[in-house]
Amino acid sequence: MPLETEARAQVRALIGDLKPNDGDLLQALHRIQHEFGWISREAMEVVAEQLALYPSEVYGAATFYSEFRFQPPPAVTVRWCSGPACHLRNGRGIRDAMLATLGLQELGDQTEDGRVGTWLGQCNGTCELAPQVWIEESAHHSSRVVGRLTAAKAVRMARALRDGAGADEVGHD
Ligand code: FES
């Protein structure tokens, strides 16, 4: 059995009540994702031990679902709204300008230094601010809307985030 690290012990405490053969695999993965913001290989090994599965079975199930992440969340995530009102107001242009400035190919990618990530979002009903993104800081579990974006504003925002600005410091121009 691998050495018990602090990370392993934390995962074990989180899922210690789950039993093999009870169909608890998804629940275990959800708990870990919720607590840590991602699922490490080490965490998947603990899940496999707890539920008497092979690590490859846990990995196979986890990678089937797009909501799970397998690397630490970036310091800042820009969640781009894919809803219809944002779409009508050049949402795609905003997305493309932002990705190009960050040097990324598609939503879901993150910068090489792990600082800024991007994610696909859904309309949350605040369409009067379209087109918009939400900027989420993982350290503070905080999120704020930056709305009425233009491509130029999206470029300035992405550049500032890439260069180290916090969520509160961007999108005010
Ligand atoms: S469509 Fe983007 S907030 Fe509603």
pLDDT at 22 over 80: no
Ligand 1: atom nearest CA of 87 is: 1
Q: Residue 81's pLDDT is what?
A: 97
Could you give the CA distance from residue 81 to residue 126 in angstroms, rounded to a whole number?
10
pTM: 0.71
Ligand 1 in contact with 51 (CB < 6 A)? no
Q: Does residue 17 share a domain with residue 86?
A: no
Q: What is the tally of structural domains in the chain?
A: 2
Ligand 1 in contact with 107 (CB < 6 A)? no
76-81 and 116-121 strand pairing:
parallel
Ligand 1: atom nearest CA of 131 is: 2
Q: How many CA atoms lie within 13 A of 30 on its CB side?
A: 6
Ligand 1: atom nearest CA of 147 is: 3
Range of the structural domain that residue 102 is part of: 76-167
Ligand 1 in contact with 145 (CB < 6 A)? no
| Cα-to-centroid distance, 42 and ligand 1 (Å) | 38
Whether 71 is in a domain gets the answer: no
Residues of the chain above pLDDT 70, percent: 98
Q: Does residue 150 share a domain with residue 95?
A: yes
Could you give the CA distance from residue 136 to residue 109 in angstroms, rounded to a whole number?
15
pLDDT at 21 over 70: yes
Q: What average pLDDT does the structure give for the chain?
A: 92
Point out the domain boundary residue: 64, 95, 110: 64
Q: Does residue 90 share a domain with residue 55?
A: no
Sort 30 into a burial class: Cβ within 10 Å, 0-12 / 13-18 / 19+.
middle
Pocket probe mutation, ligand 1, options 90, 127, 128, max atoms within 8 Å of Cβ: 127
Q: What is the CATH number of the domain that holds 32?
A: 1.10.10
76-81 and 133-137 strand pairing:
antiparallel
Ligand 1 in contact with 155 (CB < 6 A)? no
Q: Does residue 90 share a domain with residue 56?
A: no
Segment 44-69 mean pLDDT? 93
142-146 and 133-137 strand pairing:
antiparallel
pLDDT at 3 over 70: no
Alpha helix segments (H runs only) across 78-169: 84-88, 91-102, 151-162
Q: How many CA atoms lie within 13 A of 163 on its CB side?
A: 9
In angstroms and rounded to an integer, the radius of gyration of the C-alpha atoms of the chain is: 19
